[in-house]
Chains A and B, each alone.
Chain A
Amino acid sequence: MVKRRDFIKWAGASGIGFAAGAFDMLAMAEETSAAFVPVIPTNTGIKGNVVVIGGGMAGATAAKYLRYWGGTGVTVTLIERDATYASNIMSNLVLNGSRTMSSLQYGYGKLASSYGVKIVKGDVVAIDPVGRSVTLGSGTRYAYDRLVIAPGVDFDVLPGLETATAQAKVPHAWKAGPQTTTLRNMITAMPTNGSGVFVMTIPAKPYRCPPGPYERACVVADWLKRNRPGSKVIVLDANPEIIAEKHSFEEGFALHGIEYRPNTTVLSVDASTMTLDTNNGKVPGAVLNVIPPHRAGKVITANGLADADGKWTSVDVLSYEAKLAPGIHVIGDASATTQPKAGHIANQEAKVCADAILRMFSGRALDQAPVTNSACYSPITFETASWLTVTFAYDPVSKTMLPVPASAGEASARSKDNFEEMNKWFTALMGDTFA
């Protein structure tokens, strides 16, 4: 008997080329999400007023599920400065030309029309945790019963990268957007005689998307190998070893001839001579892609909500309420937890947070055994990918989310099947977040 799941797998792999396959899958996914019509319940009896700051993977998911699970008695206002969200997930595939930045934009229309989330475009300039309100640059004030902050990450300014000119010459492209396009253009401008060197740097953990930089090195090296043969890719990693999907990336680095230098930290950048100064000497390059160390988005650090280290906010992972700021929940990359900083798990943290807030509004005990999971696919070449997954379960002794050892693993080998599954995963994840 052919099981439905297997049939779908075979059908998806039936000899269609990469481009056609990707488009077919996108069309299929759109049909699927179009068929899903959410009903916002009117009878939960739950009442409350939530303001969400930041419409990325965490913030958008929290806004959606507060309404979808909480119903019409829960007012949700999502404050976001941009008209659309540019997905970091898949943005490395802009660098090899297989995706465009415009294909990675997600709007807030469905959150408004299907879920009744109030979308406010603006920048938060002040938070009043006592009076429970936030104020925008426009001067408009929004009161809240519970505040959810999901600003993502901000970047340290490395010596030599203080000016806009220097930043334009040495982009991080670690927040998908104009810098992603800039980096793509720098890669295509590398010399055709193969004399160019692409240097990228990885900060010490924690940073956003642990496998992401290694994935980027592979995708760029793969493109250069086929389009600028002879070019070199050097990875300078502040960490002592590859920190995610070690097996897959060691194979990928060997396949592409990537030079990997662990324990190498950038001390300063000279954009005029295109040279990095590191603890292991100077490294010049035709393209310098420096990913600086991260901290939580500015709304956290500017409002005194970061821990003593000034970087992240410690939270109770049963609710994501900040340990030192009652009424304020911090989800996604900005919170300090044992979980990785990445879009997929941010979506699940948001659901735990939404569920907790709704329980608080109705005077119920919090779920004492939440489970989250991190999962992702990483392209190794333009047509193959690996994967990584782990679930986290709440540990009442340490009061942290601990990985479930049996659930932690990576792909045994890169494959085209994984690449096709990656496209379906991405479409479904974005649908669960924005539609």
Chain B
Amino acid sequence: MKQGKIMRALVLALAVSPAFAQTTTTAPPSGRLLASNCFQCHGTNGSGGLERLAGESVSEIYNELKEMQRKSPPKMMDMHARGYTDAQIRLIADYLSKQR
């Protein structure tokens, strides 16, 4: 009953809430959200943790991830690397290489 009441109220709210205006905001850098998967073990922005990644070259990060995808038997990071497509790895490498 309570839920129904909230739902009805929300439908009403939807109808009256203003659309978000297009503003002159900075676009989020491509690769940032993908690369944030790295931050959990390598520190925010790749700043440290198990190993610092920020500022490594694109080719260093890209090649290392590609190598990990083939490594057998896989350790945890080798397994994790297998979760990304080639295009995603390029985006991640590009983003991390630009961090300081």
Contact = CB atoms under 8 A, between A and B. Distances in A.
B80 interface: yes
A32 interface: yes
Contact of B10 (A38, A325, A431): A325
Nearest to A373: B37
A44 B82 CA distance: 33
B26 A389 contact: no
A432 B41 CA distance: 8
Contact of A406 (B10, B44, B45, B83): B83
A432 B84 CA distance: 21
Given A344-B40, A359-B28, A407-B79, A428 B48 contact: yes
Given A303-B6, A304-B5, A351 B43 contact: no
Contact of B43 (A69, A306, A326, A432): A432
A129 B51 contact: no
Contacts of B44: 36, 38, 68, 431-432, 435
Interface residues of A, number: 69
Which of A69, A364, A407 counts the most chain B CB atoms within 10 A?
A: A407
Given A69-B32, A304-B3, A425-B50, A408 B40 contact: no
A428 B50 CA distance: 7
Contact of A130 (B12, B34, B51, B74): B12
B88 interface: yes
A363 B22 contact: yes
Q: Is the interface of A mostly helix, strand, loop or mixed?
A: mixed
Nearest to A68: B44
Contacts of A351: 33, 36
A324 interface: yes
A8 B20 contact: no
Contacts of B6: 129, 303-305, 325
A387 interface: yes
B83 A407 contact: yes
Given A130-B13, A304-B2, A364-B27, A32 B43 contact: yes
Given A129-B13, A130-B13, A421-B50, A389 B20 contact: no
A190 interface: no
Contacts of B39: 432
A421 B76 contact: yes
Contact of A431 (B14, B23, B43, B84): B43
Interface string A379-390: 000000001011
Given A130-B10, A130-B13, A421-B50, A404 B76 contact: no
A44 B49 CA distance: 28
Contacts of B22: 363
A355 B28 contact: yes
Given A36-B45, A130-B13, A391-B83, A428 B40 contact: yes
Contact of A43 (B20, B26, B47): B26
Given A36-B47, A355-B28, A364-B25, A425 B84 contact: no
A46 B25 contact: yes
B51 A363 contact: no
Contacts of B25: 44-46, 361-364
Contacts of A32: 43, 47-49, 52
A370 interface: yes
Which of A29, A130, A306, A327 counts the most chain B CB atoms within 10 A?
A: A130
A269 to B, nearest CB: 31
Q: Which 8 A-B pairs have the closest CB atoms?
A: A391-B83, A428-B49, A32-B48, A407-B83, A362-B25, A45-B25, A304-B3, A36-B47
29 contacts: A5-B51, A32-B47, A32-B49, A33-B48, A45-B24, A47-B23, A304-B5, A305-B3, A325-B7, A326-B13, A344-B40, A351-B33, A355-B28, A362-B20, A363-B19, A364-B25, A367-B33, A371-B84, A373-B80, A375-B41, A390-B83, A391-B84, A393-B83, A407-B80, A407-B82, A407-B83, A411-B76, A412-B73, A431-B44
Given A32-B43, A407-B79, A425-B41, 12 more contacts: A8-B50, A35-B47, A43-B26, A305-B6, A324-B7, A327-B17, A352-B33, A389-B79, A406-B83, A421-B76, A431-B49, A432-B43
